[in-house]
Amino acid sequence: MKGLERKKRIVEDLANLMNKNQVVGIIDLTNLPSSTLQKIRSKLRDDAKIITVKKILIQKAIEKAKEGKKGLEKLEEFLGGIPALILTNKDSFRLSKLLLQHKSSAVAKPGQIAPNDIVIPAGPTEFTPGPVIGELGQIGLKTAVENGKIAIKEDKLIVKKGDIINQKISAVIAKLGIEPMTITMNLVGTFENGLIYKHDVLSITEEEYMNNLKLAALQAYTLALKIEYPAEKVIKQIVTNAALEEKALAAKLNLSFEETKEEPKIEVKHEPKIEIKKEEPKVEIKQEPIIQEKSVKVKEVKPEIIEKEVQKAPLTTHDRFDESVDKAQEVLKKLQDQKMKKGKT
């Protein structure tokens, strides 16, 4: 009964810690030596809390704490291997970075996968001639005895990255003091603000992240050039490519053209100005209607009648003047006639 109460108290305490901390993570302690675990736990004391309990208790604590943190139950899929809890108020990526900083090297065990190429360098060893020479020869190492010690004559790649390390190689590299394996806490997943972050995301380093960004930018740039997308960053290269293709086509068709170094002139088209002409007010001149006079027929009058009528009419000033002129001409004519008569006599 006391054991059951103790387990309930542990579950209660774990659930409270899960609700108090921003990040709840699961780490896998498989292949992690106890001494390494204690060193990492000591170094992370101020940043994170590592709790090692049975898997069933972690599962019960998650079930209880999910009432305060919706989605926390998704962490149950990471409870494989030898799970342990890690709790912190730092974000998930800072936590992963902290764990990667606290790592150590270790010898390779048979059946493990080589994280990198394993190369045995040339040089002297601490072994005296004996059965060791046969062990080194079995994995392809060329040896010789120098100054009473076994020496390796040349560098030898014995395991490539990703290959499985067998028993013979594991034994030899352990004797030579080669530790190709890296030991750190395997952060398999975290829960933060309703989101789950898996190991493949958390294990990305800053350098790898920047390389991914550069690769994405390069791929976007290449795609923009391929489809001739007129983006600001690629428009110059698009124009350059077009000019090169023009030259190549001209050379193929034996065409000649003059190259000009002048920059193309950009014509700025102005909107046409609309001029509003003020029209003078039109003055309409109304013409009076032309009245056509009716032709009047004049009866013929005999000259005798006209003469009589004229004689009856009173003399005007003009008529009187004409009459005086006629009389003066008659007098002048008479005087001239008289002089002509005297001259003859």
Between 205 and 17, residue with greater pLDDT: 17
Would you place residue 262 in the very low, low, confident or very high pLDDT band (cuts 50, 70, 90)? low
Contact status, residue 41 vs residue 184, Cβ threshold 8 Å: no
For the stretch 125-139, pLDDT in tens is 988 888 888 888 888
**pLDDT at 292 exceeding the cut of 70:** no
Residue 304 has pLDDT above 80, yes or no: no
pLDDT value, residue 15:
92
Task: Give the model's pLDDT for residue 12.
Answer: 92
pLDDT of residue 219: 92
pTM of the model: 0.53
Mean pLDDT of 305-319: 51
Q: What domains, with CATH codes, occur in the chain?
A: 2-103+184-204 (3.30.70.1730), 118-180 (3.90.105.20), 210-252 (no CATH)
The alpha carbon torsion through 10, 16, 19, 21 (nearest 10 deg) reads: -80
pLDDT at residue 315 in the model? 52
Give the confidence band of 19 by pLDDT, cuts at 50, 70, 90. very high
In terms of phi and psi (left: phi > 0; alpha: psi -120 to 50; beta: otherwise), the region of 249 is alpha
Secondary structure element (H or E) that encloses residue 262, with its range:
none
Percent of the chain at pLDDT exceeding 70: 77
Residue 293: what pLDDT? 44
Residues above pLDDT 90, as percent of the chain: 27
Please report which confidence band the pLDDT of residue 310 belongs to, taking 50, 70 and 90 as the band edges: very low
- On the CB side of 264, CA atoms within 13 Å amount to 4
Question: In the predicted model, what is the mean pLDDT of residues 78-92?
Answer: 92
